[in-house]
């Protein structure tokens, strides 16, 4: 069992999967602060990168290349990142990742300020930041059950996702857009400073977070294989990983070229650059609302119906731009989709954390994200191709219809099946 901060008791045999009252602990709130700062940097950067790319080219394929480069490491590096998260102290891995991202953005800001910027430099830095993100995000999801009891995971995940959506989706994008308007160098120095502050907040989380390892030493390859076997052998986790992969493929295809739909006099929405970030906040507003509603929705509808309704929200998220060019209707669709994504994420992530032993959690998280996020660069590239071939609005209609197909794997899902799986895991944990 890994060490913890001493403020929050570790899970015990009496913990259930229902909501458990009580404090989340000082260590959790320091992690929450760091997550908020880190996600604020993410949100600012993800709005700034396509806007800077738009100043260099108007090609849908080349602009989509930025999103492809940023997400490609999830296809290439997710599995090693998970194995490292189970080998290393997870808090220190997160600190190291944020320090690396700080250095990379400062280098990019200096290069652009001195006139050495290019689209290829944007690709290279985006890819390198994506590599560090695989280690940071995998460690961040894996450290949470070491800080709070498993019966409080839904509440803890809800708080973390609320901070993530507020920072990355609500505050970060307009901040990034405004910073690009103020100066390209400033647009990258600011997220670098936020990542440095996030690393500092993690230094305040006490204790060690390296999982105790028993048995003979094994190779990295063997440990990765163990995580793959665990996830693929669990029918629930396998199903959700594949579904999230399909959803992320469609969503990334839609958003990789959203700047072309929204920004400029010739676009559908005719927004100025500074307003692009405000458009992106619509999804974050929905996500923030969803973070406060998810517990109520889960109690009233059950997990299965909550997930089914979430899929309808996903379809609105990507399909509404194909139906209208009315700004407020588009923003309403993004808002509904953001709420749906929050409900889905809290339910599925909490389930995965409950079903997975601490010793395997980093690797299982990484395998899940390989399947779930490894599709993102493929989706971004597909979005660029589809926009070039059939146009933006027909593409969005096609993607919205494709998202509705995710209802099919949920037909036979039930709350009873999820409850039974959690009960079996809890019994094994208490032996």
Residue with tokens 């913990």: 15
H-helix segments, 116-171: 119-147, 153-164
DSSP reduced 3-state for 4: coil
Its domain, for residue 83, covers 26-204+224-429
Instruction: Tell me the C-alpha distance between 388 and 62, whole Å.
Output: 11
Largest Cα–Cα distance in the chain? 65
49 is a domain residue:
yes
Residue 2 has pLDDT above 60, yes or no: no
pLDDT at 3: 29
Q: Which residue, 315, 319, 285, is CA-closest to 395?
A: 319
Instruction: Tell me the C-alpha distance between 249 and 399, whole Å.
Output: 10
Instruction: Tell me the C-alpha distance between 252 and 66, whole Å.
Output: 12
Of the two residues 321 and 361, the one the predictor is more confident about is 321
The predicted-structure confidence for 252-302, as pLDDT tens digits, reads as follows: 898 888 888 888 777 778 888 767 777 777 877 888 788 778 878 888 898
The CA–CA distances, whole Å, from 95 to 195, 196, 276 equal 9, 9, 31
219 is a domain residue:
no
Q: Could you tell me the two tokens for 371?
A: 């399947």
CATH number at residue 172: 1.20.1250.20
CB count within 10 Å of CB 272 equals: 12
Instruction: Tell me the C-alpha distance between 389 and 412, whole Å.
Output: 37
pLDDT at 4: 29
Average pLDDT, stretch 157-185? 78
The predicted-structure confidence for 172-221, as pLDDT tens digits, reads as follows: 877 887 888 777 788 889 999 999 999 999 998 877 778 766 656 677 78
Residue 384 has pLDDT above 90, yes or no: no
The confidence band for 1, taking pLDDT boundaries of 50, 70 and 90, is very low
Asked if residue 183 lies in contact with residue 396, where contact means CB atoms within 8 angstroms, the answer is no
Average pLDDT, stretch 225-250? 89
pTM greater than the 0.75 cutoff: no
327 is a domain residue:
yes
349 is a domain residue:
yes
Q: For the chain, give the mean pLDDT.
A: 82
14 is a domain residue:
no
Average pLDDT, stretch 148-156? 73
The predicted-structure confidence for 16-67, as pLDDT tens digits, reads as follows: 334 445 667 778 888 889 888 998 998 888 888 888 888 788 787 788 788 8
Which range among 72-86, 102-116, 192-206 shows the weakest confidence by mean pLDDT?
A: 72-86
Instruction: Tell me the C-alpha distance between 184 and 400, whole Å.
Output: 34
- The number of domains in the chain is 1
Q: What is the DSSP string of 173-240?
A: HHHHHHHHHH-HHHHHHHHHHHHHHHHHHHHTS-S--PPP--SS---HHHHHHHHHHHHHH-HHHHHH
pLDDT at 11: 30
105 is a domain residue:
yes
The predicted-structure confidence for 335-345, as pLDDT tens digits, reads as follows: 898 889 888 98
78 is a domain residue:
yes
Angle of the 153-164 helix axis to the 26-54 helix axis, nearest 10:
30
Residue 138 has pLDDT above 80, yes or no: yes
21 is a domain residue:
no
The CA–CA distances, whole Å, from 356 to 32, 142, 149, 364, 414 equal 22, 10, 14, 7, 20
Instruction: Tell me the C-alpha distance between 292 and 107, whole Å.
Output: 39
């Amino acid at each position: 069992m890994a060490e913890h901060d001493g403020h929050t008791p570790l899970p015990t045999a009496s913990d259930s999967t229902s909501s458990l009252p009580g404090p989340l602990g000082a260590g959790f709130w320091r992690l929450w602060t760091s997550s908020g700062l880190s996600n604020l940097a993410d949100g600012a950067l993800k709005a700034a990168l396509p806007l800077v790319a738009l100043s260099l080219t108007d090609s849908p394929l080349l602009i989509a290349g930025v999103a492809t480069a940023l997400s490609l490491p999830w296809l290439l590096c997710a599995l090693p990142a998970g194995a490292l998260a189970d080998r290393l102290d997870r808090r220190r891995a997160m600190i190291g990742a944020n320090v690396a991202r700080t250095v990379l953005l400062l280098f990019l800001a200096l290069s652009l300020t001195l006139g050495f910027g290019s689209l290829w430099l944007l690709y290279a830095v985006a890819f390198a930041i994506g590599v560090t993100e695989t280690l940071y995000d995998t460690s961040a999801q894996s450290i949470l059950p070491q800080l709070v009891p498993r019966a409080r995971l839904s509440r803890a995940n809800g708080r973390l996702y609320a901070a993530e959506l507020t920072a990355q989706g609500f505050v970060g994008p307009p901040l990034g857009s405004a910073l690009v308007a103020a100066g390209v160098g400033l647009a990258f120095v600011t997220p670098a400073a936020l990542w440095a502050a996030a690393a500092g907040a993690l230094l305040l989380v006490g204790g060690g977070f390296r999982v105790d390892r028993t048995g003979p030493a094994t190779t990295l390859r063997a440990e990765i294989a163990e995580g793959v076997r665990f996830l693929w052998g669990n029918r629930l986790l396998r199903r959700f990983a594949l579904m999230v992969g399909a959803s992320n493929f469609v969503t990334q295809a839609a958003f990789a070229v959203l700047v072309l739909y929204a920004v400029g006099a010739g676009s559908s929405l005719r927004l100025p650059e500074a307003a692009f970030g405000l458009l992106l906040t619509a999804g974050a507003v929905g996500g923030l609302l969803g973070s406060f509603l998810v517990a109520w929705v889960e109690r009233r509808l059950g997990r299965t119906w909550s997930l089914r309704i979430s899929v309808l929200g996903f379809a609105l998220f990507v399909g509404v731009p194909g139906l209208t060019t009315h700004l407020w209707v588009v923003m309403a669709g993004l808002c509904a989709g953001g709420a749906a994504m929050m409900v889905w994420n809290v339910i599925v992530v909490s389930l995965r954390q409950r079903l997975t032993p601490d010793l395997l959690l980093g690797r299982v998280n990484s395998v899940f994200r390989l399947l779930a996020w490894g599709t993102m660069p493929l989706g971004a590239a597909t979005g660029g191709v589809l926009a070039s071939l059939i146009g933006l609005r027909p593409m969005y209609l096609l993607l919205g219809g494709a998202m509705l197909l995710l209802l099919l794997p949920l037909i036979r899902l039930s709350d009873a099946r999820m409850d039974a799986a959690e009960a079996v895991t809890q019994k094994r944990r208490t032996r």
